[in-house]
Amino acid sequence: MGDARGELVGRRALVSGASSGLGRAFARELARRGAGLVLTARREERLQALAEELRSAHGVEVRVEALDLGAPGAAGELFTRTEGQGLTIDILVNNAGLGAHGDFLDRPFEDAAQQVRVNVLALLELSHRFGQAMRARRRGWILDVASFVADLPVPQMAVYAATKAFVRHLGDALAVELAPHGVKVCSLLPGGIDTEFFAVSGQGERIPGVMRLTMASPEQVARAGLAALFGWRRSVAPGLLIKLGLWSVRLMPRRLRAWLAHRIMGLPAAAQ
């Protein structure tokens, strides 16, 4: 599939984390191509406003399911409210995620647990439930939003980087497992994206220079992710600098990776 307007008519996509940033950009791009949508995140008013915008701009059917994906049973509930009611999901965009900046021991444990619940557990359960339905139909697309830090242990973002390593490993393996069943799985590995992520993580305006250098718009990243997903690619790192960075990291010894990440992405303790 290319990126033509209307090419996804008759398909329906579920986008998690659609209330902001990259998720909102995915929803807009999928609607532009004609896909029906299920939008999920916690902030319902934002989802309703986006749904209204997409219905009137593209005439697509949009449903809002406001849920906290960090809450027990949320992924199952989302499945029940969609596939459970005969609402086929052809495309799953596992986008919802958050980071928390700071030394591991200095942040409340709850921050670490929430990152694991949303970035890992919710993604895992959604992939399992919707993946089974897709396999039964012998057709489906799953796009996992990982990060360029998936291969990079990052001091001061240790838990976040570890969750993204999980997402990347899972996606690589599932891509092979599910391909014979007609289900495509693709991992997206973006560098910095200009979204609310840094405010949520506690970095605020103090974004490291390397992140600013690679900063892309959510629209650019969403288009690159969907192009890879529908182009049968198993992963995509949008942007030349990010591609080069990823290749250099892979050639480095693991010990050097964490040291380097600290040097280029860590913030001086006094500035925290």
Ligand X SMILES: NC(=O)c1ccc[n+]([C@@H]2O[C@H](COP(=O)([O-])OP(=O)(O)OC[C@H]3O[C@@H](n4cnc5c(N)ncnc54)[C@H](OP(=O)(O)O)[C@@H]3O)[C@@H](O)[C@H]2O)c1
Q: Are strands 140-145 and 36-41 parallel, antiparallel or unpaired?
A: unpaired
Q: Which two tokens stand for residue 256?
A: 């050097």
- Minimum CB separation of residue 192 from ligand X in Å reads 4
Task: Return the range that interacts with ligand X (CB under 6 A); candidates 4-12, 126-134, 192-200, 241-249.
Answer: 192-200
77 near ligand X, judged by CB under 6 A: no
CA dist., res. 142 & res. 122, Å (int)? 14
Amino acid at position 22, single letter:
L
The CA distance from 225 to 222, in Å, is 5
Q: Which two tokens stand for residue 148?
A: 């360029």
Per CB under 6 A, 115 contacts ligand X: no
Question: Considering only 12-20, 84-92, 133-141, 168-176, which stretch makes contact with ligand X by CB under 6 A?
Answer: 12-20
Residue 193 contacts ligand X per CB under 6 A: yes
Dihedral, CA atoms, 153, 148, 15, 71, nearest 10 degrees? 10
Restricted to residues 17-46, the positions that interact with ligand X (CB under 6 A) are: 17, 19-23, 41-43
By CB under 6 A, tell whether 150 contacts ligand X: no
* 260 class by beta-carbon count within 10 Å (0-12 exposed, 13-18 middle, 19+ buried): middle
Q: Check binding of 161 to ligand X (CB under 6 A).
A: no
Cβ atoms within 10 A of the Cβ of 20, count? 20
239: contact with ligand X by CB under 6 A: no
- Tell me the site size for ligand X, rule CB under 6 A: 26
In the window 47-76, what residues touch ligand X (CB under 6 A)? 68-70
Residue 96 found at the interface with ligand X (CB under 6 A): yes
Residue choice 30, 36, 97, 134 for contact with ligand X (CB under 6 A): 97
Residue 40 DSSP code: E
- The runs of H, that is alpha helices, within 82-190 are 109-115, 123-137, 158-178
By CB under 6 A, tell whether 206 contacts ligand X.
Answer: no
- The single-letter code of the amino acid at 47 is L
Q: Answer yes or no whether residue 195 interacts with ligand X by CB under 6 A.
A: yes
Per CB under 6 A, residues contacting ligand X are 17, 19-23, 41-43, 68-70, 95-98, 118, 145, 147, 190, 192-193, 195-197, 200
